[in-house]
Amino acid sequence: MFHLSAFADEISPDPYEQIRVCKDNGVTHFELRSVNKINVLDFDRRLRQEIKSKLVESGLGVICIGSPIGKVKIDELWEKHFDRFKIAVELAEFFAAPLIRIFSYYPEPGGDISRRRDEVIRRMQDKVDYIKDRPVTLVHENEKEIFGDTGSRCLDLMQTINSPKFRSAFDFANFIQCGEQPLDNWASLKPYSVHIHIKDAKLGSGQIVPAGEGDGQLEPILVDLHRSGYDGFVSLEPHLSAAGKMGGFSGPELFKVAADALKKLCSRNDIPIASA
């Protein structure tokens, strides 16, 4: 069956509101990205412990550290960014999160990121080498305008790194916003996809809409995933009120709209979702 997680900061900056709305909507795990408008990588020791305690008390877990690692220009200082990555690994271990979301870099001003492939690969390999003996897996999200935005370049990353420690977080809407059909990319990326981001969009405009209301082809892909025995997480990242390069927002009401749309799609196809 599917398990439901969420970028809870799309609900509210307030951790209490994040927890309440997640529990009301059957979400069992956070994709921890920010609290009180503070990015997860910038949590101090006190805030880390506070959030961990709140989650434990509420019976919620953390499936993934929703880090912004790799969401920088490729010419930015690598050593400084790698130090930030080490913080993400430390946080994953602290919150017992098995996954860390990462990206594959924007081009430098006026540059072409496809020409920086070797540097992207080198950086990814360094990150994978760093976690080789740690209980975490890196999941690459196909964000628009980074190296791994298209299906073919996502596949290139997966095949070149070729490690169980480096896998795909499949995002339907981001492929749509790149002008690609997610179903065209599914067969090649399915073997590497261990995490699913639930976000739909309209072709052409790129407008984000609830699951099943856009051109993201969520239904056939989720059906195939279920029939293949997937027992992982589908993570709500609705972006129904606002969307930007560093995140999105929905609010409690639109978050419920997003959760209900996913549940309806799954119910229609007899796909069970684990109860909270």
pLDDT 10s digits, 198-227: 999 999 998 999 999 999 999 999 999 999
Residues 128 and 64: their CA atoms lie apart, in Å, by 16
6 phi and psi angles, rounded to 5 deg: -160, 150
Instruction: Confirm whether 166 is domain-assigned.
Output: yes
Instruction: Confirm whether 276 is domain-assigned.
Output: no
For position 90, what pLDDT does the model report? Answer: 98
Instruction: Confirm whether 274 is domain-assigned.
Output: no
Instruction: Confirm whether 275 is domain-assigned.
Output: no
Residue % of the chain over a pLDDT of 70:
96
Predicted confidence (pLDDT) per residue in 27-78, tens digit: 999 999 999 999 999 999 999 999 999 999 999 999 999 999 999 999 999 9
Please, which pLDDT band fits residue 247 given cuts at 50, 70 and 90?
A: low
For position 242, what pLDDT does the model report? Answer: 56
Instruction: Confirm whether 69 is domain-assigned.
Output: yes
Instruction: Give me the domain span that covers residue 222.
Output: 3-268
Residues 84 and 86: their CA atoms lie apart, in Å, by 5
DSSP code, position 108 = P
Instruction: Confirm whether 131 is domain-assigned.
Output: yes
The answer to whether the CB of 60 falls within 8 A of the CB of 23 is yes
pTM: 0.96
Predicted confidence (pLDDT) per residue in 100-146, tens digit: 999 999 999 999 999 999 999 999 999 999 999 999 999 999 999 99
Instruction: Confirm whether 101 is domain-assigned.
Output: yes
Across 110-122, b (16+ Cβ under 10 Å) vs e yields eeebeebeeebbe
Instruction: Confirm whether 202 is domain-assigned.
Output: yes
Please, which pLDDT band fits residue 244 given cuts at 50, 70 and 90?
A: low
Number of domains in the chain: 1
* C-alpha closest to that of 68 among 31, 32, 101, 30: 101
For position 275, what pLDDT does the model report? Answer: 81
CA distances from 47 to 30, 38, 40, 123 (A): 16, 10, 10, 29
The answer to whether the CB of 6 falls within 8 A of the CB of 66 is no
For position 249, what pLDDT does the model report? Answer: 65
pLDDT at 239 over 80: no
Domain of 219: which CATH number? 3.20.20.150
The answer to whether the CB of 143 falls within 8 A of the CB of 174 is yes
For position 248, what pLDDT does the model report? Answer: 64
